[in-house]
């Protein structure tokens, strides 16, 4: 179990706030949004990827001591390559072009009605 940065008591991983000192541990009260905090007196921005490439739009920049988007420069972002199968591609295409497929179906239906007469 992780420890609270302020009182060092054990805290459940999904806890929004520390049960002992009530320090917020998750951003905006959402259990899925971690709130990164600086451990010393040095702000997080000095070691953040977004500050290094000048894409950070956080209002507290460059003195932010806590941040929801912090990404350490020393730890690379791992993005897993996405591989799609043929059926996944077909399903995605069909969802994107549902209107076209419906129009094509109506056109084929009307053509069949004309040919039957």
pLDDT category at 78 given cuts 50, 70, 90 is: low
- Which residues lie across from 67 on neighbouring strands? 36
Question: Between 66 and 112, where is the model more confident?
Answer: 112
Determine the pLDDT at residue 94: 94
Mean pLDDT of 64-86: 80
Which residue's entry shows tokens 């917020």?
A: 24
Mean pLDDT of 3-20: 86
Q: Which DSSP helix (H) or strand (E) runs through 66?
A: strand 66-67
Determine the pLDDT at residue 112: 96
pLDDT greater than 70 at residue 110: yes
């Amino acid at each position: 179990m992780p420890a609270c940065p302020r009182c060092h008591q054990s805290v459940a991983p999904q806890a929004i706030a520390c049960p002992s000192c009530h320090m917020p541990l998750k951003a905006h009260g959402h259990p899925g949004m971690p709130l990164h905090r600086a451990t010393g007196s040095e702000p997080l921005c000095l070691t953040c990827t977004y500050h290094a490439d000048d894409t950070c739009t956080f209002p507290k920049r460059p003195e932010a001591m806590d941040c929801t988007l912090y990404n350490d420069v020393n730890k690379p972002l791992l993005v897993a390559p996405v591989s799609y199968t043929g059926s996944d591609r077909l399903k995605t295409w069909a969802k994107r072009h549902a209107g076209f497929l419906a129009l094509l179906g109506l056109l084929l239906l009307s053509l069949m009605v004309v040919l039957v007469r």
